[in-house]
Structures are given as structure tokens and as C-alpha cells.
Amino acid sequence: MAFAIFYDDSDLLAMAVQLARCDLPTGLAATAALMWDGGFSDWRVAPACPYDFIHGDIYPRIVVIQAVGGLQAFHDLLAAIGAAFPGDEPASYMIAIASDLDGGGTLGNNDAAVEPWP
């Protein structure tokens, strides 16, 4: 199932750097590769969000990802990256993004992400 995330370039770059880490544990690296190949790799050319989706970030993009496990797997991946590298501030930021995706228990139905995506 496809899902979409809505983030600006600085957040997307931070995610891209963490997904491409060469020191990710094997399981996380495999999931990161699935997300990358499932559409995250297009983050730099992803379309800008229509005005209706802008709720905090100045110039968010719509990044559509189609991968096994969907948004829950992406959320869990970001949280696991943050947990795998305690004290690493850029990695720890992934925990904050995972929390943002969760939106207070509304994973996939909030300002940061939508699942399913048409």
C-alpha cells in the first residue's frame, strides 16, 4: 500500500542521510533499502504540497512511498534508527520525526502523513 509523507527539504534531507547510513544494522539497512527503492529516493524531485497540506513546514513536499509494511514500517524504521544510535543527534532526530508521523496515535491520518495514498 502506498503512503505519502509531507516534509520540507531540511527534514527530508535528514531522513535521506539516516536511511543511507553505511553503519545501519543489517535488518534496518534492508528496510531502509525497501523504503528508498519504494519511492523515498525521489524526495528531491517530489512535488510541492498544495496549500491545503501546509500546516507547519514552509515548503513541504509530497513524497510517496510504496513498500511492504507501509507507513507503520517507515515509522518503526525511523524510531529504530534513532534508538540504534543513542547520543547521535541526527539519528535521534528520527525519533522526533517518527513521533510526528504518529501524530498522537493517528498514524497515517494527520498533517505529516496519509495512508493509503491514492
Residue 52: what pLDDT?
A: 62
Write out the H or E segment, with its range, that includes residue 10: helix 9-19
Between helix 9-19 and helix 89-102 the angle, nearest 10°, is 120
CB 31 within 8 A of CB 62: no
Query: In this predicted structure, what is the pLDDT of residue 50?
Result: 76
CB 54 within 8 A of CB 60: yes
Question: What tens digit of pLDDT does each residue of 40-98 get?
Answer: 999 999 998 876 655 665 688 999 999 999 999 999 999 999 999 999 999 999 999 99
Map out the domains of the chain as residue ranges.
2-114
Q: Work out the number of other CB atoms within 10 angstroms of the CB of residue 39.
A: 19
Write down the pTM of the prediction: 0.91
